[in-house]
Amino acid sequence: MSDAKTFKKPSINSEEFIFYIDLISDFLKRKTLVKGITSFIKEKNNFNILTSYGLVIFQENTSPITLYNEKDTDKIIEKLEDTWDTRETNQNFLENGLFEILAYIFRKSQESRKNYRVIVISDNPSSLSEDYHNALYDLLIKARNFYAFIDIIRVGDNKFYEDDVKLKVISSETHSGVFYCNDPKVFPSILGSLVQNKTEFTVIQPSKQNPILKEDKIFYEKLAVGLLSLDSEDKEVCDVCQQELCPVCELHSDQILKCYNCNMKYHACCAAHYSIKNNIGFKNLFRCAQCDTLLKLDEDFVNLIYEEEYKPEEEEIIEEEEIPEHFDEETLYGEEIIPDEEYIEPMEEEAEEIKEEVERKVRIGGYFGQEIIVKSHINKQKNNMKVSEPTVIIQENTTKNQKPISITSLKPPKKKMIKLCKICGATLQSVHICPNCGARVD
């Protein structure tokens, strides 16, 4: 019986490298190619003994010679040497070869999960129509969701090729790259740089900006296989919860099903919960917890459980993380805001009176209002300040005679913490923004 704690597989150690030879010229000799691939395989086996290899090369009759999932690396080299002289030398078949490889990846992805590393070695652009490229692009979008990575090595002495953009699209869609080899001597080094493992990516992350198309969803569902009913000799115990009666719904009617490949058993509810937490991008599609076979559940049933038990929790988390778009005006203008000036507690010294005349310019009614000058005679003492009655001089376009008047509406400051708004003349205390006109107070 399987241990539920070991179901989650955080990493993929198994890799398969598929070499697609798309060479029609003699720029890269067979000896150099074989030497580079042999060195690559030897170095890779030192890092990961679970790696297997494959080979695809087109022959003169346009039919490709294929060899997949081969552990015996000598067979890869032998097959390459045997088919080299009869390879296609009239035109390149980049798209056709990738169609063949992707079809293989889709078939194998139903059974198990591994990293598929495709290395295309090409020397010229293909002459196939744009329709081939569009069809290939549609498959690439799906293939990257099954851990397929396509690196391309373009060999040749040209600086630019007419399919440069096409190659970059193919590689970037599978989180890989394009490498240009202008000198056959550096080919082994370029190939050797691809030994390192590729980073695993989440299978599908649909978003509003990049929605999953309906036909894509149908594609994944056709690849997956449904759970089977138990045989009469099978023990009716769920391998996920280790119980006969489902602990989720506690209903005897909850049927126990099994994986067709490894016979791992699931309650319908347990399978739904596992799929919601470990799906491949669609809540009803998941890989078997024991053998990685691609499985599917009834979508309506899974959505029902998700709506009842998972969606309310997600909405609650989102509400807690929301940040208010607007600040509270009372907080912005209130007394709690600490002013920039620091109040220094005066020392106990003998008071020393200082006479000083203060002059302030104020515009009444805003920036374009009437300008007045407020003059005050201040007698300062330590920890004290006396202000005499101010006089006001009105200035209007600097042409009228100055006429002193007495005003009381400006409420001259009586404490060091009191300020006057430079825009409207309002009396302010312990605020950074004038509540009357909205001007910032320095």
- For residue 365, what pLDDT is reported? 56
Tell me the sheet residues that pair with 20: 56, 120
Which of 47-56, 78-87, 369-378 shows the lowest per-residue confidence on average (mean pLDDT)?
369-378
Query: Given a cut of 80, is residue 342 above it in pLDDT?
Result: no
Query: Given a cut of 80, is residue 384 above it in pLDDT?
Result: no
Query: Given a cut of 80, is residue 294 above it in pLDDT?
Result: yes
pLDDT average, residue stretch 271-287: 88
Q: Which of 190, 194, 166 is nearest to 180 (CA)?
A: 190
HSE value, Cβ hemisphere, 13 Å, CA-based, for 21: 32
Residue-range domain boundaries for the chain = 12-192, 214-319, 354-429
pLDDT average, residue stretch 323-328: 51
pLDDT tens digit sequence for 302-316: 888 888 877 765 555
- Decide which of 438 and 15 is more confident: 15
pLDDT average, residue stretch 127-142: 85
- Specify the residue for token string 């045989």: 231
Residue 85's pLDDT band, with cuts at 50, 70 and 90, is very high
Domain 214-319: give its CATH code: 3.30.40
Query: Given a cut of 60, is residue 363 above it in pLDDT?
Result: yes
**Average pLDDT for the chain:** 77
- Decide which of 265 and 322 is more confident: 265
- Decide which of 433 and 258 is more confident: 258
pLDDT tens digit sequence for 27-66: 999 999 999 999 999 999 888 888 999 999 999 876 899 9
- For residue 403, what pLDDT is reported? 52
Residue 6's pLDDT band, with cuts at 50, 70 and 90, is very low
- For residue 375, what pLDDT is reported? 63
- For residue 75, what pLDDT is reported? 94
Handedness of CA 27, 31, 33, 36 (dihedral sign): negative
Long-range contacts, stretch 404-408, CB < 8 angstroms, 24+ apart: 407/374
What is the helix (H) or strand (E) element at residue 74, kind and residue range? helix 73-83
Residue 224's pLDDT band, with cuts at 50, 70 and 90, is confident
Determine the topology of domain 12-192 in CATH.
Answer: Rossmann fold (3.40.50)
CA 353 to chain centre: 68
Name the DSSP class of 5.
G
Q: Which of 38, 141, 25, 31 is nearest to 89 (CA)?
A: 25
236 Cβ contact list (under 8 Å, min separation 6): 230, 244, 256, 265
Name the DSSP class of 434.
-
Query: Given a cut of 80, is residue 331 above it in pLDDT?
Result: no
Query: Given a cut of 70, is residue 329 above it in pLDDT?
Result: no
* Amino acid (one-letter) located at 266: Y
User: Do residues 113 and 289 make contact, with C-beta atoms less than 8 angstroms apart?
Assistant: no
